[in-house]
């Protein structure tokens, strides 16, 4: 490289001079098709209820959920991930409403599927925490501990009712050992080889789930540290990945996204199936709250957070901003 006196011979700034130049050399582009909208549907409400800690996100009625699904399709979003919020009095130790064909999540899956057909990939959260009175992701043993294998039996049944209700994809999110294999078998047993499994592969025990717990009216006391991963650990995610792939996962997920971009990059490097990342409720709430106070530029922060997640290796991103962002792209 020729140098003239002490001036730099290399000038990376040349590629940053104009918006079109920057656009041309951008390595990472968000596309509406990358995005999946998580959505909540609550039983027994006449109007949508805005979630206090997630301004702009609602507990939907059956009708408003259908509208949200159609808006997502129109914006070019690829999928919707449904969470059910049953009446409080329907919660019990076994999370019975989660396997009732007329339970709120199944009803919503049928509604949305009837509305969007195959224009939107309809996904269902496969977990018991929204349906149990103790708020854990599984059933408890006599000593009050989450019973892994008894929970797997519940998940198998959930997978079957969710498939019957119209889910294209089920998303086991409880972090029980063996959950992917059991869910795959349960689907195959009823002839639903067509239903895909999105494994929550690396799901960390995170403080950033706080607003979600309000969103689903969670009754959890205590924490999920005996089944969700310790934020201190990275290697264990690769072990979870190997197990989920062996058990038949069609897609894998890292969650949360923002504080775990190193995990996402490692999983993306190892995985031979598509990798999703879930930008969770707390990540949403932090940006919205800071923006409300005028402390950050909301739209720029949203785009930067999503670009970072994609740059780290996500093929798909679950984000509560999915429809809004897809419209802007
Ligand atoms: C479990 C589940 C949780 C989230 C998605 N699925 C909560 C938890 O593990 O406590 C969190 C999503 C979010 O925070 O946006 N059913």
Q: What is the pLDDT of residue 26?
A: 98
Tell me the pLDDT band of 130, cut-offs 50, 70 and 90: very high
CA of 28 to the centre of ligand 1 (A): 27
This model of the complex carries an ipTM of 0.95
Tell me the catalytic residues: 203, 255
Domain 30-328 has CATH 3.20.20.70: yes
Arithmetic mean of pLDDT, 206-215: 92
The domain locations on the chain are 30-328
pLDDT in tens, 282-316: 999 999 999 999 999 999 999 999 999 999 999 99
Query: Do the bridges between strand 58-60 and strand 35-42 make them parallel or antiparallel, or are there none, so unpaired?
Result: parallel
Q: How far is the CA of 259 from the centre of ligand 1 (A)?
A: 15
* Whole-prediction pTM: 0.96
Ligand 1 mean position, distance from CA 222 (Å): 15
Query: For a substitution probing ligand 1, which of 86, 199, 201, 209 has the most ligand atoms within 8 Å of its CB?
Result: 209
For residue 20, what pLDDT is reported?
A: 98
Q: What is the mean pLDDT of residues 103-132?
A: 98
Express each pLDDT in 183-203 by its tens digit: 999 999 999 999 999 999 999
> Which of the four pLDDT bands, split at 50, 70 and 90, describes residue 3?
low
Q: Whose CA is nearest to atom 12 of ligand 1?
A: 280
Q: Which of 234, 240, 221, 283 is nearest to 258 (CA)?
A: 283
Over the stretch 165-175, which tens digit does the pLDDT of each residue have? 999 999 999 99
Which whole number is the average pLDDT over 232-248? Answer: 98
pLDDT of residue 4: 67
Q: What is the DSSP letter of 140?
A: B
Q: Is the per-residue pLDDT at 260 higher than 70?
A: yes
The kind and range of the H/E element at 268 are helix 261-270
d(CA 205, CA 231): 7
CA neighbor of 34 nearest in space, from 248, 271, 313: 313
Would you say residue 8 has pLDDT above 90? Answer: no
pLDDT, mean over the chain: 97
User: Which atom of ligand 1 is the closest one to the Cα of 212?
Assistant: 14
Ligand 1 atom index nearest CA of 280 = 15
Q: Residues near 166 by Cβ (< 8 Å), separated by ≥ 6?
A: 109, 110, 112, 113, 114, 122
For residue 209, how far is its CA from the centre of ligand 1 (angstroms)?
A: 6
Q: Atom 16, ligand 1: which residue's CA is nearest?
A: 127
Angle 298-311/281-292 helices, nearest 10 degrees? 150
Residue list, ligand 1 pocket, CB within 6 Å: 125, 127, 129, 137, 173, 209, 212, 224, 280-281
């Amino acid at each position: 490289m020729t140098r003239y006196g002490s001036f730099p011979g290399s000038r990376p700034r040349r590629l940053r001079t104009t918006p079109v130049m920057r656009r041309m050399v951008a390595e990472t582009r968000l596309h509406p098709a990358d995005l999946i909208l998580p959505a909540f549907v609550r039983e027994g409400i006449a109007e949508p209820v805005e979630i206090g800690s997630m301004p702009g996100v609602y507990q939907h009625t059956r009708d408003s959920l259908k509208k949200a699904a159609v808006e997502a399709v129109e914006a070019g979003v690829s999928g919707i991930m449904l969470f059910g919020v049953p009446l409080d009095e329907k919660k019990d130790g076994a999370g019975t409403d989660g396997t009732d064909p007329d339970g709120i999540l199944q009803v919503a899956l049928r509604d949305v599927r009837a509305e969007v057909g195959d224009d939107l990939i309809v996904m269902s959260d496969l977990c018991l925490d929204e349906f149990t009175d103790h708020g854990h992701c599984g059933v408890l043993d006599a000593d009050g501990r989450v019973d892994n294998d008894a929970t797997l039996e519940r998940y198998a049944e959930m997978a079957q009712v969710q498939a019957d209700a119209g889910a294209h994809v089920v998303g086991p999110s409880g972090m029980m050992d063996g959950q992917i294999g059991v869910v795959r078998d349960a689907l195959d047993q009823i002839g639903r080889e067509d239903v895909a499994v999105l494994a929550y592969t690396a799901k960390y025990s995170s403080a950033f789930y706080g607003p979600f717990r309000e969103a689903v009216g969670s009754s959890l006391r205590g924490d999920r540290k005996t089944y969700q991963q310790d934020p201190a650990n990275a290697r264990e995610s690769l072990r979870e990945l190997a197990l989920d792939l062996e058990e038949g996962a069609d897609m894998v997920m890292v969650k949360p996204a923002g504080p775990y971009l190193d995990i996402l990059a490692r999983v993306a490097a190892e995985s031979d199936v598509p990798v999703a990342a879930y930008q969770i409720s707390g990540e949403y709430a932090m940006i919205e709250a800071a923006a409300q106070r005028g402390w950050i530029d909301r739209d720029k922060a949203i785009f930067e957070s999503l670009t970072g997640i994609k740059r780290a290796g996500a093929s798909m991103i679950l984000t509560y901003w999915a429809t809004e962002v897809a419209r802007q792209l």
